[in-house]
Amino acid sequence: MGDFILTPEEMKRIDEWTIKDFGIPGFTLMEQAARGIVDIIETECEGEKVIVCAGGGNNGGDGFAAARYLLNRGYQVLVVFTGKREKLRGEAKKNFELYEKLGGETIDLEDFDPEFLDEADIIVDAIFGTGFRGEVEGKVKDLIKKINRTDACVVSVDIPSGINGLTGEVGGIAVLADITGTMAFVKRGLLLYPGRYHAGEVVVIDIGIPYNIPFEPKYRILDEDEFYLPFKIGNEHKGKNGKLLIVSGSINFTGAPVLCADAAQKIGAGLVYLLVPEDVHSVIASKLKDPVVIPYAKPEDIKRHIEDLKPHGILFGPGVGRGEHTVKILEILLEKEDIPLVIDADGIWALGEIDKVEREDVAITPHPGEASFLLEESPDRIDRGRFDYAKILREKTGYNVVLKGNPTVISTSYGNFVNILGNEGLGKGGSGDVLSGFIGGLLVQTHDIENSLLAGVYIHALLGDILYEEMNGPYYVPHDLIDNLPLVFEVLND
């Protein structure tokens, strides 16, 4: 269940269906949410002094219920109530009453000195939920400022207060949580920055939502169950392991083709042919040991090389530069309808310069800046709306899409996926070239372009996380990803 990614509106719809149509009372769901938060506290936090900051909505109701459970388990609990008592309704009101009936202490925010937060070992943030919009103001703003300055273990209920559950944007200020216990499904705002930063570790809490929800969510989290790796029986030869043709490089960019080719061969492509302009052939060839580097003088030469080499897949774009020659090459490659094609980098710019060509076996792998060549939107807007824009790109081009960044969003004929792995160490020039090489190398082994996108993205990001841990931070460079590729397969094959 937790592998789906929902908007706040979708989660509200599922809650209503669960309560009204399926028949699980809202109070039961709130109890389950509270137990999940308490389990997180008992597992991840130390100390016994707890301050629960609770608002007047259902998020606050989860906080009241958690406070009751904590009190029952021997914790010293204080609830700071940020709402109006006379406005409490439904399950939230019931849980507030039960907490006080148990003898729990409550203080209204107007009477609370935020400096008292320094005495807490644990702070539960249950002020605002995923439906929050606008700006945090007044005494709640002061409260959140103080929460963010304490040394307490901060656990947010469903989403850090002040974060927009749809966009991840901060409403002026937001809680910086150590852990966020989110209910049933991950919400978009927990994956989009800066919401992702504020959320800390995200734990999905099973609150008993039935598996047969009334609609299929649009996005799901990418994990290793969503793709397969090339299968080998032991007698494969270089031709059987697939032939990849890479068209890359220019006078100003000689590093990109090297990274692409090395990555593709390292991940298992049997033969990697690298077509580069003749004026940089010697430079690039001197940097490579295994791939075959072939010069070309003009775009028309590429037709002949394709006919001679008969590749199983083509990767085009990294470092080719922008100009008429790039457009001409892309037109030639798109004519080869029997060969799957991955378009990256400057190739995506060229795609914006030509008429649409209908193909099912083409993928594009832009970052937001490159995606802006195909959409009438700024890179910043695309980045902030990456969930929707990946899907829009697929609909507009008809091609499979990898919208790179954090998180990377993949829109394919298989469905829409979000990769939540990876770290800032991947944000270096050349990292995308390695990713393209991985995808191309997988493509010629599996002959499945959608699967190759999912596997390539996941392997690339997981490897980044492995190196982050090995090097105690983002202190690795793109070629480290290639050199340490076996570490990923140790994990995936475990």
Are 274 and 248 spatial neighbours (Cβ–Cβ below 8 Å)? yes
Angstrom CA distances, 427 to 38, 209, 257, 371, 386, stand at 36, 37, 18, 17, 17
Residue 353: burial class (beta carbons within 10 Å; 0-12, 13-18, 19+): middle
Phi first, then psi: give them for residue 165, nearest 5 degrees.
Answer: -70, -15
Tell me the domains of the chain and their CATH numbers. 4-217 (3.40.50.10260), 224-492 (3.40.1190.20)
Q: How far apart are CA 315 and CA 290, in angstroms?
A: 17
Residue 447 near residue 430, CB atoms below 8 Å: no
- Whole-angstrom Cα distance, residue 476 to residue 474? 6
Quote the strand ranges of 305-366, DSSP E.
313-316, 341-343, 362-364
Reading the block at residue 385, the tokens are: 């709306």
Angle between helices 255-266 and 431-446 (to 10 degrees): 40
Give the per-residue pLDDT at 1.
Answer: 44
Q: Which secondary structure element, helix H or strand E, spans residue 51, and what is its range?
A: strand 49-54
Residue 158 · residue 58 · CB < 8 Å: no
pLDDT at 172 (0 to 100): 95
Per-residue pLDDT of the chain (494 residues), as tens digits, is 459 999 999 999 999 999 999 999 999 999 999 999 999 999 999 999 999 999 999 999 999 999 999 999 999 999 999 999 999 999 999 999 999 999 999 999 999 999 999 999 999 999 999 999 999 999 999 999 999 999 999 999 999 999 999 999 999 999 999 999 999 999 999 999 999 999 999 999 999 999 999 998 999 999 999 999 998 878 888 888 999 999 999 999 999 999 999 999 999 999 999 999 999 999 999 999 999 999 999 999 999 999 999 999 999 999 999 999 999 999 999 999 999 999 999 999 999 999 999 999 999 999 999 999 999 899 999 999 999 999 999 999 999 999 999 999 999 988 999 999 999 999 999 999 999 999 999 999 999 999 999 999 999 999 999 999 999 999 999 999 999 999 999 999 87
Q: CA-CA distance, 441 to 271, in Å (whole number)?
A: 9
Distance of alpha carbon 226 from alpha carbon 419, whole angstroms: 11
State the pLDDT at residue 2: 53
> Residue 319, exposed/middle/buried by CB under 10 A (0-12, 13-18, 19+)?
buried
Q: In the structure encoding, which two tokens stand for residue 293, read together?
A: 């580097």
Please check whether residue 151 is in contact with residue 120, taking contact to mean a CB–CB distance below 8 angstroms: no
Q: How far apart are CA 70 and CA 101, in angstroms?
A: 14
List, in order, residues 6 or more apart from 210 with CB less than 8 Å away: 18, 22, 24
Using the structure block, give the residue that is written with the tokens 């002061």: 142
| pTM score of the predicted model | 0.94
Provide CB contacts within 8 A for 232, sequence distance 6+: none
CA atoms within 13 A on the CB side of 136: 25
How far is it, in rounded angstroms, from Cα 401 to Cα 365? 6
b or e along 121-151 (b: 16 or more beta carbons within 10 Å of the residue's beta carbon)?
bbbbbbbbbbbbeeebeeebeebbebbbebe
What is the rounded CA–CA span in Å between residue 404 and residue 264?
A: 18
What are the E-state strand segments in 167-284?
179-183, 186-187, 201-205, 219-221, 243-247, 271-277
Alpha-carbon span 299 to 405, nearest angstrom:
31
> Strand pairing of 362-364 and 4-6?
unpaired
Q: How far apart are CA 21 and CA 76, in angstroms?
A: 39
Task: State how far the Cα of 71 lies from the Cα of 66, in Å rounded to an integer.
Answer: 9
Q: Extract the tokens encoding 465.
A: 């996380």
The token pair at 141 is 């703003």
438 C-beta neighbours (distance < 10 Å), count: 30
Residue 105: in which H helix or E strand, if any?
strand 105-108
Secondary element (H or E) of residue 400: strand 400-403
Eight-state DSSP code of residue 86: G
Contact between residue 371 and residue 393 where contact means Cβ atoms under 8 Å apart: yes
